[in-house]
Amino acid sequence: MVYNIRPLANGLSTDHPVPGLPFVDDSHIPLDEGPEAIEAVGRNQGEGMWGRFDHDYVEPRTAWSAFTTDPLKHEYGWSVRYHPDHGRTVLLMRDDDIASLHSLWQNGPLLYRAGGYWWDGSTWYRPGQIWDPVTEDYERRVARAAVTVSAADMLDGRTEPDRAYVHKVMTFDPEEPGPDTWLDHLALWAQRHQEQENARPLERCLVDLSSPELSGDRLLGVPEMAAMGNITASTLRSYLSRNNSEVPMPQATMSGRDHWSRPVAEDWAESRRRSREGVREVMTAGDRDNLSPGEAAVRDRFAANFQGTLWERPDVRKRWILRSRNEAAVQEVSDVLAWNVATSLKSVLPTDLLGPTIRHAVLDDFAGMLDRKTRRGKSAEEKSEIDAWEIPLSLPLAKMLDWFIRHYPDSAQWYIGEIMHEAHQRWDIPATVTGEALRLSVVRDSKLPADMVNEYFTRVVPGEQSS
């Protein structure tokens, strides 16, 4: 996501200037010498300076991105993106933002425009907001009818480059408003650009995108945006004032007010519905405590339990008499309540649901290990000869099995038996090997003493003659 990472200016040597941004002289940065040289400007050059470069994931041999702290003014930094077919982008950033933009550039984006709309070399996409757990990335949602606008498209001969100027980084003030006649500045940039050796044709210097969803009359202001997200306008303004990263960057600022495209607002509303808070919102018991249905059921169960213990039992209720209320009396009551909780655990986490879940998870872990061994050349016939140390459980699953044993040792015995039975039926693994694999996995991170775990498995796992 490109939220709240805003370039301050274009570099003069960029192939793709950003509309509205002033141009700043970047001649003191070795842009033509490659990413290593850019990194070296700032890396290990002193306090408050840093630099880095990485080859692109998509085009690892020829495309790259790099950044460096500006050597003259450390509060700024330069972020550079290069692609062999699509040219170079050079942006002046706040130094705190250059590493974030560098990370965003690593998965295909070549240009960012209009508050996070991005281009991969052929297609324009809206800002990524909807997380896809399958691809482990944000969904790529195409901007409708998007057309790329080049520098040649914008320069029509009516500009006056003599009215434009190039900033110096030492005197550049990002708080100053952008140039009123930006096309004049673009014309000056075009003159300087075409003077370079092997200059990229202006028809291939991308400047902006045009899309119906970005038309000014279709943009939404704060009140409409807030309504889309089911919050108040004041809440959204509060988010914006705090630079909340969950709110997408506006697509335009008109008369000092932020505006968003409707599709971006719809994506934002969808991302809010899919967020942890949104999921929890739909799964509430609808009471004053804002608990989930499961939490409310546990509360109600123990509230009734405690009421019966504290009030309906005369031997406990007498502890509330002031003259009998002392530390020992309170401890007795606490012990009774704690005993009620401990003996009610199966009503909170029923073993008939938890046990089969752990069983299937353990067998799935085994299957994954054995499948990897087969791919490494171990035949199916050799699987019966597997050693216990070759099929360890993943750490979360080992800890879950440890928890199960600690809380329900008798139920765990049953399901460990089922695991040993199924491993023998599927892969001809001896029960002793399966049991030893489970013991090794549990004892490594168990909250129980090792001798207790070892003794437990001695009683649960059959001997060699039973394998």
pLDDT for the residue 388: 80
Query: What pLDDT score was predicted for residue 36?
Result: 95
Chunked mean pLDDT (size 10), the chain, 467 residues: 77 93 95 94 91 82 91 95 93 93 86 92 93 83 94 89 92 88 94 90 94 92 93 92 85 90 94 80 66 68 73 71 66 72 72 88 89 62 67 89 86 90 91 91 86 88 62
pLDDT at 23: 96
pLDDT value for 467: 43
Q: Report the pLDDT value the prediction gives residue 211, as an integer from 0 to 100.
A: 95
CA atoms 15, 18, 19, 23: torsion sign = negative
- Give me the pLDDT at residue 466, please: 45
Token couple for 96: 């705190």
pLDDT of residue 193: 94
Structure tokens at 226: 């807030």
Contacts of 238 (CB under 8 A, 6+ apart): none
CB 66 within 8 A of CB 60: no
Q: How close are the terminal C-alpha atoms of the chain, in Å?
A: 55
d(CA 358, CA 354): 6
pLDDT value of residue 458: 87
- Residue 283 is predicted with a pLDDT of 62
What is the SS3 string spanning the chain? Answer: CCCCCCCCEEECCCCCCCCCCCEECCCCCCHHHCHHHHHHHHCCCCCCCCEEEEECCCCCCCCEEEEEECCCCCCEEEEEEEECCCEEEEEEEEHHHHHHHHHHHHHCCCEEECCCEEECCCCEECCCCCEECCCCEECCCECCCCEEEEHHHHCCCCCCHHHCCCECCCCCCCCCCCCCCHHHHHHHHHHHHHCCCCCCCHHHCEEEEECHHHCHHHCECHHHHHHHCCCCHHHHHHHHHCCCCCCCCCCEEECCEEEECHHHHHHHHHHHHHCHHHHHHHCCCCCCCCCCHHHHHHHHHHHHHHHHHHHCCHHHHHHHCHHHCCHHHHHHHHHHHHHHHHHCHHHHCCHHHHHHHHHHHHHHHHHHHHHHHHHCCCCHHHHHHCCHHHCCCCHHHHHHHHHHHHHCHHHHHHHHHHHHHHHHHHHCCCHHHHHHHHHHHHHHHCCCCHHHHHHHHHHHCCCHHHC
pLDDT at 353: 85
The contacts of residue 124 (CB under 8 Å, 6+ apart) are: 117, 118, 142, 143, 146, 148, 209, 211
Helix axes 351-375, 395-407, angle to 10 degrees: 150
Question: Do residues 150 and 206 lie in contact, with contact meaning Cβ atoms separated by under 8 Å?
Answer: yes
Partnered with residue 254 across adjacent β-strands are 257
Residues 68 and 59: their CA atoms lie apart, in Å, by 22
Question: What are the structure tokens assigned to 381, written together?
Answer: 């016939």
- Give the pLDDT of residue 465: 45
